[in-house]
Structure 1
């Protein structure tokens, strides 16, 4: 005897149906850490950011680029603290109280990137993704791949993995 679709659905509990609905919603959305940098809004893939902290006290490292602010001890681990604005723009920026540090753990490196603000975890509908970047400055192009449009705001996808692949960023000595 063939099983009707109503009988088939009756085999699931309301919790099962809720889980299925959630997994469909998750498949249609993209999640990242939203932040502001130099007046632009960005979102980094959730898996690329280990944690977000207030700017720590750090010790300056001699003979390094000005954007490498220094080393900090975070729970017994050395964090290389860098100003993302200064690295990208090659200009000095003054630190502010609303600045945050996005920490990245990559291979043997523990890196903290100072950004203007962090807005926390944001969810985006994948149908609101656009691959072109016509309004973003050239200095950001090597690190950004498209954007999400949400509530009249463009959130450019900033791939921290691309930054970590940049030889100049990974070699912060003044004489390289």
Structure 2
């Protein structure tokens, strides 16, 4: 019998409030500074609006609001992660994004049952790196509502 080969994946680590989150590098098209965001009426409170990113109109989601955290003013550290999943591109506003880490599959644990920091549905797993706990997000579930909105509008 051969042993399972350790899979290593790169993740972008970003911060919301005091917590760290990770998403796969291959899902991130770019990391942008906050630019002009145009508000769209009659959208959910966490939908910040849309942004013209190099000629492409991109919906922008405030992850703080989506995860039920208190809103804060943007500062020099605030970033927008441009995330691509299947045929959808969305921007996530985060407090900071400045780390790329390699994660071995053996270091990722399932989320604890009593997890209460975000909606547990959005969590793929957790890992520890340099004395920080990093919550790995399931982008498909985070974006699920937006996919439904997009399909209802077409």
TM-score tier by shorter-chain length is 0.7 to 0.9
Unaligned regions of 5+ residues in structure 1, if any?
Answer: 1-25
Relative to its length, the structure with more helix (as a share) is 1
1:131 partnered with 2:110? yes
Matching residue of 2:149: 171
Q: TM-score, normalised by structure 2?
A: 0.80
Residues 132 and 159 of structure 1: CA distance in aligned 2, closer, same or farther (over 3 Å): closer
1:34 partnered with 2:10? no
| Aligned with residue 93 of structure 2, among 114, 136, 140 | 114
| Aligned with residue 120 of structure 2, among 141, 144, 147 | 141
Residues 170 and 111 of structure 1: CA distance in aligned 2, closer, same or farther (over 3 Å): farther
Contact 1:50 1:103 (C-alpha < 8 Å) held by counterparts = yes
Relative to its length, the structure with more strand (as a share) is 2
- Segments of 4+ moved more than 4 angstroms: none
Instruction: Please state how far the C-alpha of 1:170 moved relative to its aligned partner.
Output: 5.1
* RMSD across aligned positions (CA): 2.5
1:161 partnered with 2:130? no
Report the count of equivalent residues: 146
Unaligned regions of 5+ residues in structure 2, if any?
Answer: none
